[in-house]
Structures are given as structure tokens and as C-alpha cells.
Structure 1
Amino acid sequence: MPICSDFRYLGSLVQGNGEVDWDIKHRINGGWMKWRPVKGTTCDPRMLLKLKGKIYKYVIRPVILYGSECWAVKKMDEKRLHVAEMRMLRWMCGVTRMDKVRNECIRGSLKVAPVTEKLEGNRLPWYGYVKRRDKTYVTKRE
């Protein structure tokens, strides 16, 4: 039987060692690709912060979290997602790290929940779906 190093499962690339580093990097890059077309709107200081937050929640974050139901993320992966998200949110608000504005303040002004909480929220329904499968399903057989 051949040993495969990488495989795709539900659109996610799972590496031979069980990690999803490549897929997370790919999703973050996809988020930045969606960021570019809406950058004119989200970085405009005349736009309401609440509207900028909605654009982020409905356009950019779904791209980043697509296929995250089956990810086995490590703390480093969560941190990578958090850093990318905060860079986008700070850019939307026109705030730099030198301004020393806390992340919670930025999230509160845009009304955006942390991406790690959304990541957990995406995994829970998937887990319930897997638990409710038939006993004759391939993954449930012993």
C-alpha cells in the first residue's frame, strides 16, 4: 500500500504529519486577496466603523475560515490567524501599533469577535455531525 504524504479532505490540504500549516497560510493569503478589492471602502476614514466591521465579517472572514471545520489547529496556527486578522482590523481603523490601542478596543469599535472564537464555533457543528453518523459508516467501523 503506498504511503501518501499529503491529501485533500473537504477542500483542506492535510499534510502527512497531520498538520494544516500550508492550508492556513493559503487561507490567510486568500483573505488578503479579498481585502484588496474592498480596501478603498474599508480604509476610507469617512466610512462608519460599524459598516467596516460588517464588510470584514461578511466578505473577508468567511474566506479565511473556509474549510476550517476539519482543521486540527495548534496554538501557533491560531496565533497566525489572529495576527493576520488584527493587521486587517488595525488598517481599517487607521491605527498602528505605535498608537498603543488595545486589540479589544479595535474589536469593540468594529463589533467583530476574535477569529479564534469563530474557528471554534465552526468546529462544533461539524463534530456533532460526525458523532451522529450511522454505525455502518466507514469511519465508524472497527
Structure 2
Amino acid sequence: MDKIKNETIRGTTKVIELSRKTKERRLQWYGHVMRRDETYIGRRVMQMEVLGGIARGRPKQRWMDVVRENLRDKQLSEDDMFDGARRRKAVKTSAPHGSGKRCREKKKISIVGHV
């Protein structure tokens, strides 16, 4: 009876689930790399196909497979990473503690007060 649910703790501390934040950062990084020049090494590596034999059993999950799954969950296509407004709205699932409008106003007041 003395147990407190994780949702309650996250709500009071204004912290989100780590998995949601990880998905958000993964999609942000993917969008960042995709908007870079075609000759950028990160983009070339991401589009590269590795030759070789296939191991027995279940295939290992690759980073790009997870990105595609996250894009599908957000109902985005790979081309949507180039549309800034749509990408930002869909990718941003959380606000870290202290990033809201009230917090920005408090930061301005405290900075001005100490100068």
C-alpha cells in the first residue's frame, strides 16, 4: 500500500520515460544526418549496405531498423525529415525540465537581477 507509481513520480519531478527521450534523440540525430550534404561521411555510412553472409537465427536489430520503426510510430516518412516544422512537431515528444515558457522567464529575471 505504500508504493508510489512511476507515473506519479515522473509527474511530480517533471521527468519523462527514458525510452521516449531515447526515441526523440534518435530521430533528431537521424534528421540531422539526413539534412547534411550527400558527401558527409555519416550520411554515406548510413546508406551503405554491408556485404557478407547471413548468420543463422533471428537477424540482429540494426540502428536503421529501429529508426524506421520510430518513424512509423510517429507516422513520418524518411522524406519528412527535410520538412522542418513537421519534423520538429512530430519528433519532439517531451520537454526537459526547465524548458517551458515560465522557466525561461524565471531564468531571464534571475540573470537580469544578478547583473
**Is TM-score (shorter-chain normalized) higher than 0.5?**
no
| Structure with a larger share of its residues in strand | 1
Q: In which range does the TM-score fall when normalised by the shorter chain?
A: 0.3 to 0.5
